């Protein structure tokens, strides 16, 4: 399990070093198997500088290359550039000789001085995808004119990083399956052994309000053994899109791929509180009714990965009013009822499924 230090610090003041914090976590039964640094931008723009293109002429030996002179403050460099949009007077991102860059797979490579078609090249003028500032490779990244020539590029972008603890969580520590759970455990150790206040500030829910109760969804739990508690809420007026950068970065730091704002919010709550959530597109919930039950053995169910699965008679299912399975409780979402780009309204599920039932179905 991956735990973010900056996320822990949202709830708890931690003054100990990273190494000491890792030791304390291990002492309280949350064994730290590794510590790594997560960078919002791989390499954090180290070594990159702001340059100004002083001259740009056609390469004498190549039709599609340009020969440029670039001022980087401390020196002027001759750089061969293949971008079609390079021009005199531009502010550009320059990787001088010796700069380490990273490809899309995270593999590093070093900028070396060399000759390109017989002309010396003393660095590289970078496109945004080559330095982690975007995905475009159509041309070089043109910077705003108020960026100071010779300054470090990292001064103009968010190059924040985070420390990630890899914890080998044992089955008996369900209390620590979330950031808030780990924060509480860590706070107890700090209070007893390190004169810490032990104060944990959980996320506030003061802003949460119910606007109206006009969108009723009936819930019927027919298998109370498999589901002791089931609840949910309707959220309307949604526009599906990308999550804000802070949320995408926080999920990426712990190895969770951002998908869209609704799915990312459910994943965030899972890793913050340890409570799984599932969002159903309300337009695909027949009869606006939820039934928690089992279905006949052999009933086909198509999961989100587009695989048809044959159900066991003891698989707990979340069904709609037409008894159509929408989700294998706590395990697989269904293909037809999930959030899509056109979703405007969701039913957000928060339930307690019996662990034995969930584990049994997950191993079939």
CATH label of the domain that carries residue 151: 2.40.50.140
Strands 289-294 and 218-221: parallel
Closest listed residue to residue 292, CA positions, set 221, 217, 218: 221
* Residue at 213 is within a domain: no
Give yes or no: residues 32 and 180 share one domain: yes
Give yes or no: residues 228 and 356 share one domain: yes
Give yes or no: residues 238 and 169 share one domain: no
Give yes or no: residues 12 and 60 share one domain: no
* Residue at 212 is within a domain: no
Q: What gap in Å lies between CA 312 and CA 296, rounded to an integer?
A: 7
Q: Exposed/middle/buried for 325, CB within 10 Å: 0-12, 13-18, 19+?
A: buried
* Residue at 206 is within a domain: no
* Residue at 91 is within a domain: yes
CATH at 175:
3.30.56.10
Closest listed residue to residue 11, CA positions, set 179, 188, 201: 201
Q: How many CA atoms lie within 13 A of 112 on its CB side?
A: 6
* Residue at 203 is within a domain: no
User: Domain total for the chain?
Assistant: 3
**Tokens describing residue 226:** 């498999």
Q: What gap in Å lies between CA 90 and CA 361, rounded to an integer?
A: 60
The residues with which 334 forms a beta bridge, in sequence order, are: 303
* Residue at 205 is within a domain: no
Give yes or no: residues 189 and 232 share one domain: no
Give yes or no: residues 343 and 283 share one domain: yes
The reported pLDDT for the residue numbered 152 is 97
Q: Evaluate whether 96 touches 126 at the Cβ level (below 8 Å).
A: no
Reported as type and span, the H/E element at residue 54 is strand 49-58
Give yes or no: residues 30 and 166 share one domain: yes
The reported pLDDT for the residue numbered 205 is 87
Closest listed residue to residue 279, CA positions, set 220, 188, 343, 324: 343
* Residue at 338 is within a domain: yes
* Residue at 201 is within a domain: no
The reported pLDDT for the residue numbered 118 is 95
Give yes or no: residues 126 and 258 share one domain: no
Parent domain of 264: 218-362
Which pLDDT tens digits describe the chain residue by residue (364 residues)?
999 999 999 999 999 999 999 999 999 999 999 999 999 999 999 999 999 999 999 999 999 999 999 999 999 999 999 999 999 999 999 999 999 999 888 889 999 999 999 999 999 999 999 999 988 999 999 999 999 999 999 999 999 999 999 999 998 898 999 999 999 999 999 999 998 888 999 988 888 888 888 889 999 999 999 999 999 999 999 999 999 999 999 999 999 999 999 999 999 999 999 999 999 999 999 999 999 999 999 999 999 889 999 999 999 999 999 999 999 999 999 998 999 999 999 999 999 999 999 999 998 8
Q: Evaluate whether 117 touches 95 at the Cβ level (below 8 Å).
A: no
Q: What gap in Å lies between CA 353 and CA 358, rounded to an integer?
A: 7
Backbone angles phi, psi at 34, to 5 degrees: -175, 155
Give yes or no: residues 85 and 152 share one domain: yes
SS3 349: strand
Q: Exposed/middle/buried for 210, CB within 10 Å: 0-12, 13-18, 19+?
A: exposed
The reported pLDDT for the residue numbered 48 is 98
Q: What gap in Å lies between CA 13 and CA 85, rounded to an integer?
A: 49
pTM above 0.95, yes or no: no
The secondary structure of 183-211 as a DSSP string is HHHHHHHHHHHH-------PPP-TT----
Give yes or no: residues 107 and 24 share one domain: no
Give yes or no: residues 36 and 164 share one domain: yes
Give yes or no: residues 169 and 289 share one domain: no
CATH at 285:
3.50.40.10
């Amino acid at each position: 399990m991956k735990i973010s230090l900056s996320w822990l610090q949202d709830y708890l003041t931690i003054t100990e070093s990273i190494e000491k914090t890792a030791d304390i976590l291990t002492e309280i039964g949350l064994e730290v198997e590794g510590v790594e640094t997560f960078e919002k931008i791989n390499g954090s723009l180290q070594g990159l500088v702001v340059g100004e293109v002083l001259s740009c002429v056609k390469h004498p030996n190549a039709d599609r290359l340009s020969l440029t002179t670039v001022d980087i403050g401390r020196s002027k460099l001759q750089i061969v550039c293949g971008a079609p949009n390079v021009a005199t007077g531009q502010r550009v991102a320059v990787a001088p000789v010796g700069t380490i860059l990273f490809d899309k797979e995270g593999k590093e490579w070093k900028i070396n001085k060399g000759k390109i078609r017989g002309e010396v090249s003393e660095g590289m003028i970078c496109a945004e995808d080559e330095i982690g500032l975007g995905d475009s490779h159509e041309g070089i990244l043109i910077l705003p004119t108020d960026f100071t020539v010779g300054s470090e590029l990292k001064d103009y972008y968010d190059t924040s990083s985070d420390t990630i603890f890899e914890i080998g969580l044992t089955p008996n520590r369900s209390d620590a399956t979330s950031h808030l759970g780990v924060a509480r455990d860590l706070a107890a150790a700090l209070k007893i052994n390190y004169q810490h206040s032990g104060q944990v500030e959980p996320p506030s829910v003061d802003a949460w309000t119910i606007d109206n109760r006009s969108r009723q969804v009936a819930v019927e739990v027919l298998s109370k053994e498999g589901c002791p508690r089931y609840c949910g809420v309707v959220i309307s007026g949604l526009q599906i899109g990308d999550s804000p950068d802070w949320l995408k970065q926080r999920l990426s730091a712990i190895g969770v791929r951002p998908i869209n704002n609704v799915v990312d919010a459910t994943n965030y709550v899972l890793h913050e509180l340890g409570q799984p959530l599932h969002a159903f597109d309300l337009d695909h919930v027949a009869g606006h009714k939820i039934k928690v039950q089992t279905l006949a053995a052999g009933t086909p169910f198509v999961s989100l990965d587009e695989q048809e699965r044959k159900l066991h008679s003891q698989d707990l299912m979340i069904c709609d009013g037409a008894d159509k399975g929408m989700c294998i409780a706590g395990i697989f979402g269904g293909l037809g009822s999930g959030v899509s780009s056109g979703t405007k309204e969701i039913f957000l599920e928060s339930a307690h499924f019996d662990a034995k039932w969930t584990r049994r179905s997950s191993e079939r």
